[in-house]
Amino acid sequence: MLKEFKEFIARGNAMDMAVGIIIGAAFTAIVTSLVDDLVNPLIGIFVGGIDFSGISFGLGEAQFMIGNFINAVIKFLIIAFVVFMLVRSVNKLAKMGKAEETPAPEEPKGPTQEELLTEIRDALRARST
Protein backbone atom coordinates (compact mmCIF):
# COMPACT_ATOMS: atom_id res chain seq x y z
CA MET A 1 0.00 0.00 0.00
CA LEU A 2 2.86 2.38 0.77
CA LYS A 3 4.40 1.57 -2.62
CA GLU A 4 1.12 2.39 -4.40
CA PHE A 5 0.86 5.68 -2.52
CA LYS A 6 4.45 6.53 -3.48
CA GLU A 7 3.67 5.82 -7.16
CA PHE A 8 0.52 7.94 -6.96
CA ILE A 9 2.41 10.90 -5.49
CA ALA A 10 5.22 10.54 -8.03
CA ARG A 11 2.81 10.79 -10.96
CA GLY A 12 2.69 14.15 -12.70
CA ASN A 13 -0.99 14.84 -12.02
CA ALA A 14 -0.67 14.64 -8.24
CA MET A 15 2.44 16.82 -8.23
CA ASP A 16 0.81 19.38 -10.53
CA MET A 17 -2.23 19.48 -8.28
CA ALA A 18 -0.09 19.99 -5.16
CA VAL A 19 1.82 22.83 -6.79
CA GLY A 20 -1.45 24.39 -7.93
CA ILE A 21 -2.90 24.27 -4.42
CA ILE A 22 0.21 25.86 -2.90
CA ILE A 23 0.30 28.62 -5.51
CA GLY A 24 -3.45 29.11 -5.11
CA ALA A 25 -3.08 29.59 -1.36
CA ALA A 26 -0.34 32.17 -1.89
CA PHE A 27 -2.41 33.90 -4.57
CA THR A 28 -5.39 34.01 -2.21
CA ALA A 29 -3.28 35.88 0.34
CA ILE A 30 -2.34 38.43 -2.34
CA VAL A 31 -5.96 38.87 -3.41
CA THR A 32 -7.08 39.24 0.22
CA SER A 33 -4.56 42.03 0.69
CA LEU A 34 -5.60 43.62 -2.61
CA VAL A 35 -9.27 43.67 -1.60
CA ASP A 36 -8.77 44.67 2.04
CA ASP A 37 -5.98 47.22 1.55
CA LEU A 38 -6.68 48.70 -1.89
CA VAL A 39 -10.12 47.92 -3.33
CA ASN A 40 -12.23 48.50 -0.21
CA PRO A 41 -10.67 51.89 0.61
CA LEU A 42 -11.05 52.92 -3.04
CA ILE A 43 -14.71 51.89 -3.07
CA GLY A 44 -15.12 53.60 0.31
CA ILE A 45 -14.03 56.90 -1.26
CA PHE A 46 -16.82 56.69 -3.83
CA VAL A 47 -19.55 55.55 -1.45
CA GLY A 48 -18.79 57.98 1.35
CA GLY A 49 -16.12 56.19 3.39
CA ILE A 50 -18.05 52.97 3.98
CA ASP A 51 -15.86 50.10 5.14
CA PHE A 52 -17.51 46.86 4.00
CA SER A 53 -16.01 44.79 6.80
CA GLY A 54 -17.92 46.90 9.33
CA ILE A 55 -21.35 46.36 7.77
CA SER A 56 -23.44 44.03 9.88
CA PHE A 57 -26.81 43.66 11.52
CA GLY A 58 -28.00 41.79 14.53
CA LEU A 59 -31.01 39.63 15.06
CA GLY A 60 -31.35 38.70 18.68
CA GLU A 61 -27.95 37.43 19.77
CA ALA A 62 -26.85 36.59 16.20
CA GLN A 63 -24.63 39.05 14.34
CA PHE A 64 -24.70 38.88 10.52
CA MET A 65 -21.46 40.23 9.03
CA ILE A 66 -22.67 41.27 5.57
CA GLY A 67 -19.54 43.33 4.96
CA ASN A 68 -17.32 40.27 5.31
CA PHE A 69 -19.56 38.47 2.83
CA ILE A 70 -19.23 41.37 0.35
CA ASN A 71 -15.44 41.21 0.77
CA ALA A 72 -15.50 37.45 0.11
CA VAL A 73 -17.58 37.97 -3.05
CA ILE A 74 -15.14 40.61 -4.32
CA LYS A 75 -12.20 38.27 -3.63
CA PHE A 76 -13.97 35.41 -5.39
CA LEU A 77 -14.69 37.52 -8.47
CA ILE A 78 -11.07 38.65 -8.71
CA ILE A 79 -9.74 35.10 -8.33
CA ALA A 80 -12.32 33.70 -10.77
CA PHE A 81 -11.39 36.33 -13.35
CA VAL A 82 -7.66 35.62 -13.01
CA VAL A 83 -8.26 31.86 -13.29
CA PHE A 84 -10.44 32.47 -16.35
CA MET A 85 -7.67 34.52 -17.97
CA LEU A 86 -5.08 31.82 -17.17
CA VAL A 87 -7.22 29.00 -18.58
CA ARG A 88 -8.01 31.09 -21.66
CA SER A 89 -4.31 31.77 -22.24
CA VAL A 90 -3.35 28.12 -21.76
CA ASN A 91 -6.08 27.02 -24.19
CA LYS A 92 -4.85 29.49 -26.81
CA LEU A 93 -1.29 28.24 -26.40
CA ALA A 94 -2.47 24.64 -26.67
CA LYS A 95 -4.36 25.40 -29.89
CA MET A 96 -1.32 27.17 -31.34
CA GLY A 97 0.88 24.20 -30.47
CA LYS A 98 -1.51 21.74 -32.09
CA ALA A 99 -1.72 23.84 -35.25
CA GLU A 100 2.07 23.86 -35.57
CA GLU A 101 2.41 20.13 -34.85
CA THR A 102 -0.21 18.96 -37.34
CA PRO A 103 1.53 18.46 -40.67
CA ALA A 104 -0.29 19.12 -43.90
CA PRO A 105 -1.62 15.94 -45.47
CA GLU A 106 0.78 14.60 -48.05
CA GLU A 107 -0.29 14.00 -51.59
CA PRO A 108 -0.71 10.27 -52.17
CA LYS A 109 2.19 8.71 -54.02
CA GLY A 110 1.43 6.34 -56.82
CA PRO A 111 -1.97 5.42 -58.22
CA THR A 112 -5.16 5.99 -56.29
CA GLN A 113 -7.49 3.20 -55.23
CA GLU A 114 -9.85 3.97 -58.10
CA GLU A 115 -7.01 3.82 -60.64
CA LEU A 116 -5.89 0.43 -59.29
CA LEU A 117 -9.42 -0.97 -59.40
CA THR A 118 -9.84 0.29 -62.96
CA GLU A 119 -6.59 -1.44 -63.97
CA ILE A 120 -7.72 -4.70 -62.31
CA ARG A 121 -11.11 -4.50 -64.06
CA ASP A 122 -9.48 -3.88 -67.43
CA ALA A 123 -7.02 -6.73 -66.88
CA LEU A 124 -9.86 -9.12 -66.01
CA ARG A 125 -11.79 -8.05 -69.11
CA ALA A 126 -8.73 -8.62 -71.28
CA ARG A 127 -8.32 -12.17 -69.87
CA SER A 128 -11.94 -13.15 -70.39
CA THR A 129 -12.00 -12.14 -74.06
Could you state, in order of their start, the residue ranges of all structural domains in the chain? 2-105
pLDDT at residue 67, as a whole number: 84
Cβ burial, residue 52 (10 Å; 0-12/13-18/19+) = buried
Task: For the chain, 129 residues long, give each residue's pLDDT as a single digit of tens.
Answer: 888 877 776 766 777 778 888 888 888 888 888 877 887 777 777 767 666 777 888 888 988 988 888 878 887 888 788 778 888 888 888 888 776 666 666 776 788 888 888 999 888 888 877
Q: Are 68 and 86 in contact (CB under 8 A)?
A: no
One-letter amino acid at 126 equals A
Please give the Cα distance from 3 to 59 (Å, whole number): 55
Please give the Cα distance from 86 to 103 (Å, whole number): 28
Alpha helices in the chain (DSSP H): 2-10, 12-33, 40-46, 66-101, 113-128
Q: At what angle do helices 12-33 and 66-101 cross, to 10 degrees?
A: 140
Name the CATH architecture for the domain at 2-105: Orthogonal Bundle (1.10)
